[in-house]
Amino acid sequence: MRHDAQGLVLSTASDAAAAAYDHLVNGYLKYRLDLPQRLKALLEADPEFGLAHCIQGYFTMLAYKQAVVPMAAKSEALARRFTEHATPRERAHVEALAAWIAGDLDRAVELWEHILAAHPRDVIAFRLAHFVNFWLGRPQDMLASVQRVMPAWSSADGKPFGSMLACYCFAQEEAGNLIAAEPAGRRAIEIDPGDLWAAHAVAHVLEMQGRRTEGLQWLAALAPNWEGGNNLQHHLWWHAALYKLEQGDTAAVLDLYDTRYRNQNSPLVIAQPDVYIDVQNAAAMLFRLERLGVDVGDRWGELADKAEGRIGDCLSGFTLPHWIMALTASGRTEAAERMIAGMREFGQGHGTMAPIVRDYAVPISEALVALKAGRATEAVALMRPALGGMYRLGGSHAQQDVLEQIFAEAALQSDSAEDLRLIVERVSGRRQLPPQRSIGWRKAAARANL
């Protein structure tokens, strides 16, 4: 038996494995790109360390990609075999991985929270619950989770405490408590300026309050610390582009697109060309730009190519409408229809995501197809029933905004004052910002007489 840096028992007899485990967990907390190497070192130090195999399965599932699920299942089998005599905590992790692989995200979160009730310093259980709750649109659960475990942490814990503060900040922000959120995120950056999640959480606060110049300064000052970070870097640059967009600098938005958040020549994008967060960043920005009449050139094409490769893969519900944006914008209606058929089929299955895809991803995607075909009234009718619950697809307020813009565009094109009023009131209430202060909402707000 060894202990990890948080004082939790590890079922390994290897000092090297215990050290490699801490290195891996720190890498996960800080969004490091070299996680695969850290994991490899851990498994080499102790090939029969069950929790390490379980974490390998978790990391595989974090791709939200159907094609790699069998790899996660292999990790689960090994983890199960090697945790036969491990601690209940480690065995519960294997059950959570199994639930995740089976698509039962509710059960996985339940198991992580169960672990946390006994071991509030289990950062893997905590961060996975935080993350999976986020992609299920459950900010109140994210907040309750972090509030339950925070008493077990203090500034004496150093950088991992910063990671906890970053999660606290983001959960508060997504729950709408911007005043409580910001100081926690800033404190996390004081502890570790290279904490991408803390940089991101504060960026969200600034976005929601329309503090664009401050937001750009915030990210520019922190960017030198991001070397060695993973794809979350792209998302931070996407946030910078979002501020630029609001300042009306669409040339800068496109420049950041090509150099920072969808740079197809970057080794990271070449190695992983269809990561869900990257696709969301790219498609959501191109959609916003086109609504403003900006020529985005041929940028949709490569996204549409990747979309065709992901037909039938519905693990990342929030990404689905983004794939459809790429397909419809590229005129690939038939492929879009095939992707929607795949969603309908997935929606008839079991698991946490099935009804979410059926009730929200499908109608939004159908609305995109109808809107592209010039059937705006139909698009409004298709999407209206999804408005109230589409937060369940996950994603932040800033990201959900693009779904609301789909509806606004359809309502504008169909000249439906009632629907414009509905969506503008909804958005302005949530953002704590007058709609006129957001470039994508000015026209809709004016037409809705708000």
Q: Which residues bind Fe ion (CB under 5 A)?
A: 396
Match 């950088």 to its residue by tokens. Answer: 159
Taking the complex as a whole, the smallest distance from the CB of residue 207 to Fe ion amounts, in Å, to: 8
Taking the complex as a whole, the smallest distance from the CB of residue 204 to Fe ion amounts, in Å, to: 6
Nearer to Fe ion, 12 or 396 (CB): 396
Taking the complex as a whole, the smallest distance from the CB of residue 186 to Fe ion amounts, in Å, to: 17
Map residue 2 onto helix, strand or coil. strand
Q: Which residues contact 75 (CB under 8 A, 6 or more apart)?
A: 53, 54, 56, 57, 60, 97
Helix (H) or strand (E) holding 78: helix 69-82
* Residue of 329, 377, 315 lying closest to 108 (CA atoms): 315
Nearer to Fe ion, 202 or 376 (CB): 202
* Cα gap 334→147, rounded to integer Å: 47
Nearer to Fe ion, 279 or 412 (CB): 279
**Phi/psi at 434 (nearest 5 deg)?**
-60, 135
Task: Give the number of other Cβ atoms within 10 Å of residue 113's Cβ.
Answer: 19
* Cα gap 68→103, rounded to integer Å: 14
Nearer to Fe ion, 60 or 281 (CB): 281
Nearer to Fe ion, 365 or 396 (CB): 396
Nearer to Fe ion, 12 or 399 (CB): 399
* Cα gap 323→280, rounded to integer Å: 8
Taking the complex as a whole, the smallest distance from the CB of residue 73 to Fe ion amounts, in Å, to: 30
Taking the complex as a whole, the smallest distance from the CB of residue 224 to Fe ion amounts, in Å, to: 20
Taking the complex as a whole, the smallest distance from the CB of residue 332 to Fe ion amounts, in Å, to: 28
Map residue 10 onto helix, strand or coil. strand
Helix (H) or strand (E) holding 54: helix 50-61
Nearer to Fe ion, 319 or 396 (CB): 396
Which amino acid makes up residue 229?
G
Residue number with the smallest Cβ distance to Fe ion: 396
Taking the complex as a whole, the smallest distance from the CB of residue 396 to Fe ion amounts, in Å, to: 5
Q: What angle do CA 380, 405, 296 make, to 5 degrees?
A: 120
Strand-pairing partners, residue 9, are: 3
Taking the complex as a whole, the smallest distance from the CB of residue 412 to Fe ion amounts, in Å, to: 26
Nearer to Fe ion, 125 or 241 (CB): 241
Strand-pairing partners, residue 113, are: none
